[in-house]
Amino acid sequence: MATLLRMPEVAAGATEAVLSEWLVKENDPFRSGDPIALIETDKASVELAAEEDATILRALVSAGTSVEVGSPMAVLGAEGEEVDDLDRVLAGLGVAETPAPAPAPARREVPEPEPVPAGREVPEPAPAGSARRVFISPLARKLLKEAGLTPQQVPGTGPNGRIVRRDVDLAIAAARQQASPPPAPAAPSSATAPAEPVAGDGFQEIPHSRPRRAIAARLTESKRTVPHFYLKRTAGVDALLALRQRLNEVSATRISVNDLVLRAVALAHQEVPEANVVWTDDALRRFDSVDIAVAIASERGLVTPVLRGVEKTAPSAVAAQVRTFARQADEGTLRQGDLEGGSISVTNLGMYGVEEFSAIINPPHSAILAVGAAAKVPVVTDGAVGIATQLTLVLSVDHRAIDGALAARWMAALVRTLEEPLRLVA
């Protein structure tokens, strides 16, 4: 019996997602649990697994299409099932027609609007004959309202002319460009002003991917709305490096310095539990376990999967989980749940030789720890100059959730743990 495959809510509160790729072809059978489609959210690509043995009788949505949660994506049937009149079956399932381009009258070309002088409101187009029904996702409608635009001003490129997120982004950008005052004419000169560069004049334009747009929007919002402050400490790590060497002699998974830093962050949260919080509009949310996001620069872009219960996890298990996340990030198989939760992120550029940097907090976390490269430096101990290996740590903190003195206590606990590394395996 034919059934509909609908777009799932792959992220809490999501209203739409992109069908990135079909992993099976029409009429090819698949088994329960097999990945059948790749769905792209703002944070990651997620494989959609089949709930039962079936085959795709007809794909209703093509790859690269933004689909509203709950909307049909395909008609499924039993293996070997033949349907004489699929359109009649679709009607019986409540889908009057496949989400293909609508008939010509509904998809007619819309003439380019005349430029509107800056400061004048853009009038809503008057309905021709009868009002046009506008299909738009709740998120797109909200963004248009915030930008002072109406759905009638935006041509939709989704199924049946639905207005989706990319249509809204283009409309807002065009409105801002129209509202910008024209540049003042240049003073007369014998030299001709250089023309606006075009693709091919020594550069390429690479379109923004959905994850890159999401990262840009999220971090811009963080820097604009979260009151950051920063603390810097150095930790002597000769004992830590010696412990790492001993552990790697017996560990099945190679342990990195960053794996030990993740474990030290968890112990610092245990020692100063008031820092294991995130800010919400109504209250501070304090967590019982220590979940830590680790920044991974994958082949598909930057992701921050979350390690769970790190305070109860051995260094070798932390290392194994980080490597699993790195592989899944490259393959695009991270799940949305892997990217949610936690109160702090850890990002490390030490492998590139970066000695020190400050990072932007990844909402809704209340802090992010930036780890630089370990370097041998001269130090004075008991009046004598010697050489020691030190690690530079910079903590970016959300001042709404964590005050300066509390953050300083947390940093002291972290440094103490790194300099007395047997705590990591106790």
The residues assigned a catalytic role are 399
Q: How far apart are CA 244 and CA 240, in angstroms?
A: 6
Of 410, 422, 425, 419, residue with least CA distance to 265: 410
3-state secondary structure of 286: strand
C-alpha pair distances (Å), 383 with each of 379, 380, 386? 10, 6, 10
Q: What's the burial of 145, exposed, middle or buried (CB within 10 Å: 0-12/13-18/19+)? A: exposed
C-alpha pair distances (Å), 50 with each of 33, 36, 303, 333, 383? 5, 6, 25, 15, 68
Contact 386, 351 (CB under 8 A): no
Q: How far apart are CA 201 and CA 343, in angstroms?
A: 46
End-to-end CA gap in the chain: 58
Contact 74, 9 (CB under 8 A): no
* Dihedral angle sign, alpha carbons of residues 161, 167, 168, 172: negative
Q: Spell out the alpha helix ranges (H) of 126-164.
A: 138-146
Q: How much is the CA Rg of the chain, to the nearest whole Å?
A: 27
